[in-house]
Amino acid sequence: MCGIVGLFLKDKSLEPCLGDMLTEMLITMTDRGPDSAGIAIYRSVSAGHTKLTLQSDTPAKDFFGLEADLSLALGGAVSLAPVDTHAVLVIKADDLPRARAALSRLRPSVRIMSSGDSLEIYKEVGLPKNVAQRFRLRSISGTHGIGHTRMATESAVTTMGAHPFNTGPDQCLVHNGSLSNHNSWRRKLRRDGIHIETENDTEVGAAYLTWKMRHGATLGEALESSLHDLDGFFTFVVGTKDGFGVVRDPIACKPAVMAETDQYVAFGSEYRALVNLPGIGSARVWEPEPATVYFWTHSSPPLATGRAA
């Protein structure tokens, strides 16, 4: 049992409140997953730049002097903003491959939590309220985000085992459920060049979507394909640079509820995660249908497609 939340803002005036609203939703789901917690936030950087969210078990050691070391290695200025065990590194987009190589050489114990022009991921072991305090999540602004509280079933309680998982640029996934064929898909995806770090079944779900899109599928098509290729009981909430999507398996035994107003679209494993959102009393509230893909972006109308189970 895990808790999932998601918030996609239509009203730009709410963007400074995104972290606060999403954190409140996440904390409400604590009893569904007290082991670890994480949030993915989407907020852009200046044109021509991209971001890496870094994590270290020894941040005082690993982040000290890292900005200067990377600037020297890349031959240009970089920006590093540490917060607790994480740090957001902003670099020129063209420097991304060299930055990854330099990080591996200069700070081999540092892990990359996320990569993308907009995406930042913060996750650690512990209660959601404590994780939120450590990373000052309430103060973060953004356009949309997703979060997860974990009750571990498939792998150990570790930082790397916490959700969300990022396996493609600006793409991340949170998951409630269990994939029964994740081991066979992990082997297949690794053979096809998809990087998977953990033994967590959710990372396989995220990597599957990345793999499908690398082979030409849209995100909607990849989510639809997951209904046929991934076995088990699952609710996926996925974030992309421009939006977020939801899909439940054909049996849909994992709880889910959505709400939409003129200001936002929200997702929660239970309705109580949504009760403090502005205007929730007049929102359209519904349970997402089984085997149906829902997707919202800032650049196109909402999508909802169904496939027969």
Catalytic annotation, residues: 2
Per-residue DSSP letters for 26-42?
HHHTGGG--SEEEEEEE
Burial profile 18-39: b = 16 or more Cβ within 10 angstroms, e = fewer:
bbbbbbbbbbbbeebbbbbbbb
Q: Which residue has the tokens 């997953």?
A: 33
- Distance of alpha carbon 14 from alpha carbon 150, whole angstroms: 27
Residue with tokens 């969300």: 164
- Alpha-carbon separation of residue 274 from 52, 175, 266, 271, 284 (angstroms): 30, 18, 7, 5, 12
Contact 291, 256 (CB under 8 A): no
Q: DSSP label at 276?
A: T
Give φ, ψ of 261 to 5 degrees: -130, -175
